[in-house]
């Protein structure tokens, strides 16, 4: 199934991408990003709910006060960081739910049931703010997105999915 989503003015990593292919290292998912004029088109060979959800979220949160309480819009730079974060997630990681926060950050959430959740938000500088609940246990911290998802987040994901 091919899904095409156009988002004017957005690019990956803050740079214009003319053509970029991501190989089978991400499993059967393959993406091809094309820049045509002012429009970035994302083509996915297989339905990728997280990427589609990011597009939907960015669209909904593109204007000020999108939440009715004065929320800041999600910027193009934040979208680029969010796409980069999804791009770095291995295909073995379950796809997160995507949303936006009132401060304009994009959020990625893995929910395993009541009291078991990991939330990671990203801002336009690539700062990752995360928090996790494992029943009564909790952890939270700050990391930065470089060329790999920080190990602390992988540890939290492993713990989240460790108990079925």
Partner 1 sequence: MTRFIFSSKHFSSVRVKPDAFLPPSDMLETSVFRTVDMDAPGIRERGTLVGEAGGRSLKAWADVLAEVVFDAGLDVRPDNVPERHAAIIGWPREKDHQISLAQQLAARATLSL
Q: Which of 121, 124, 156, 157 binds partner 1 (CB under 8 A)?
A: 121
Q: In the chain, which residue ranges form alpha helices assigned H by DSSP?
A: 49-60, 76-88, 151-160
Nearest distance in Å: CB 111, partner 1: 7
Q: Which is nearer to partner 1, 45 or 60 (CB)?
A: 60
The two three-digit tokens of residue 145, written as one number? 């997105």
Residue (of 119, 141, 121) closest to 132 by Cα position:
119
- For residues 33 and 61, which CB has a smaller minimum distance to partner 1 in the complex? 61
Residues 6+ apart with CB under 8 A from 60: 66, 100
Instruction: Confirm or reject binding of residue 133 to partner 1 (CB under 8 A).
Output: yes
Of 18, 32, 141, 158, which lies in the binding site for partner 1, with binding defined by CB under 8 A? 141
Backbone angles phi, psi at 102, to 5 degrees: -60, -20
| 97 is a site residue for partner 1 (CB under 8 A) | yes
Would you count residue 60 as binding partner 1 (CB under 8 A)?
yes
Tally Cβ neighbours within 10 Å of residue 161: 14
Q: Three-class SS of residue 66?
A: coil
State which of residues 14, 32, 67, 90 lies at the interface with partner 1 (CB under 8 A).
67
Does position 100 interact with partner 1 (CB under 8 A)? The reply is yes
Query: How many C-beta atoms surround the C-beta of residue 40 within 10 A?
Result: 23
Binding site for partner 1 (CB under 8 A): 56-57, 60-61, 65-72, 97-105, 107, 109, 111, 114-115, 117, 119, 121, 129-131, 133, 138, 140-142
């Amino acid at each position: 199934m091919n899904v095409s989503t156009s988002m004017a003015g957005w690019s990956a990593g803050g740079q214009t991408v003319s053509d970029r292919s991501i190989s089978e290292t991400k499993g059967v998912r393959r993406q091809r990003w094309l820049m045509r004029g002012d429009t970035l088109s994302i083509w996915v060979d297989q339905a990728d709910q997280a990427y589609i959800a990011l597009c939907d979220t960015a669209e909904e949160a593109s204007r000020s006060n999108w939440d009715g309480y004065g929320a800041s819009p999600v910027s193009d730079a934040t979208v680029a960081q969010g796409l980069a974060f999804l791009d770095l997630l291995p295909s073995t990681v379950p796809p997160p739910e995507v949303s936006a926060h009132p401060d304009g950050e994009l959020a990625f959430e893995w929910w395993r049931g009541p009291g078991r959740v990991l939330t990671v938000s990203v801002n336009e500088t690539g700062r990752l703010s995360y928090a996790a609940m494992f029943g009564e246990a909790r952890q939270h911290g700050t990391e930065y997105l470089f060329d790999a998802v920080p190990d602390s987040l992988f540890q939290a994901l492993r713990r989240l999915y460790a108990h079925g």
